[in-house]
A and B are shown apart, each in its own frame.
Chain A
Amino acid sequence: DIVMTQSPPSLPVTPGEPASISCRSSQSLLHSNGYNYLDWYLQKPGQSPQLLIYWASSRASGVPDRFSGSASGTDFTLKISSVEAEDVGVYYCMQDLQTPRTFGQGTRLEIK
């Protein structure tokens, strides 16, 4: 199985400040079509996870442009340019390249 490792486990952020979450995969997630099959999800308190980013850097429909994703080899980063109160929750990365799909352990973003 591809192992997904996220850091940090917890991230306290002041509103208006940027935030960055890292995810590392144990194998390349590069598909033959040139895209990295890495997604980012946010699970807000009491809710189901919701898709933020697919293909490492493509924002899902309706996702604010303060969210961005990037890739460098097997290292992936989710950035929030200016954190808002509604961004609190647990962020997960997931590899969508191989069976079984696997998730990171999550990063809990909290407001200072």
Chain B
Amino acid sequence: QVQLHLSGPGLVKPSQTLSLTCAISGDSVTSNTVAWNWIRQSPSRGLEWLGMTYYRSKWYNDYAPSVKSRISINPDTSKNQVSLQLNSVSPEDTAVYYCVRRRASYGLDVWGQGTTVTVSS
């Protein structure tokens, strides 16, 4: 059974960097049939896809244009996890953040538990 466990600070100050880690169990971050996504949810913006990373003989990233200048999603093969970094945050980045697996084109089939991140001084 695949499980995704998120960790990271729940409070980040404006202009600083939001950093979250998604630990993967039951699957491999280097699997060539999956992609590892980050999605967030807030009352004002609803569900918002931020980006993904996936391995197909080499690593690829795909980011939402709305955050492309501020986001970095990186795999850590030694720890079998994926990280999210979002720079220069503002209160608009306050949301519940999810790490989500996409298996081939068969939908987002495994979701982490979600972690609330608040941007406030």
Interface residues of A (CB under 8 A from B): 1, 31, 35, 37, 39, 41, 48-51, 53-55, 58, 60-61, 92, 94, 96, 99-103, 105-106
Contact = CB atoms under 8 A, between A and B. Distances in A.
Given A99-B62, A99-B64, A100-B65, A51 B46 contact: no
Contacts of A100: 49, 64-66
Contacts of B107: 39, 51, 53-54, 60, 96
Contacts of A103: 46-49
14 contacts: A1-B65, A48-B98, A48-B111, A48-B113, A53-B107, A54-B105, A58-B106, A61-B109, A96-B102, A96-B105, A99-B64, A101-B37, A102-B49, A103-B49
Contacts of B98: 48-49
B108 interface: yes
Nearest to B107: A54
B14 interface: no
A55 B65 CA distance: 24
A99 B63 CA distance: 7
Given A99-B64, A100-B49, A103-B47, 13 more contacts: A1-B65, A37-B105, A41-B108, A48-B111, A51-B107, A53-B107, A54-B105, A54-B107, A92-B47, A94-B47, A99-B63, A101-B49, A105-B46
A39 B49 contact: no
Interface in B99-121: 102, 105-109, 111-114
A96 B107 CA distance: 8
Interface string B67-102: 000000000000000000000000000000010001
Contacts of A101: 37, 49
A87 B94 CA distance: 28
A37 B113 CA distance: 25
A54 B101 CA distance: 14
B64 A39 contact: no
A51 B108 contact: yes
A88 to B, nearest CB: 18
The 7 A-B residue pairs with the shortest CB-CB distance, nearest first, are: A54-B107, A100-B64, A48-B111, A101-B49, A103-B47, A51-B107, A39-B107
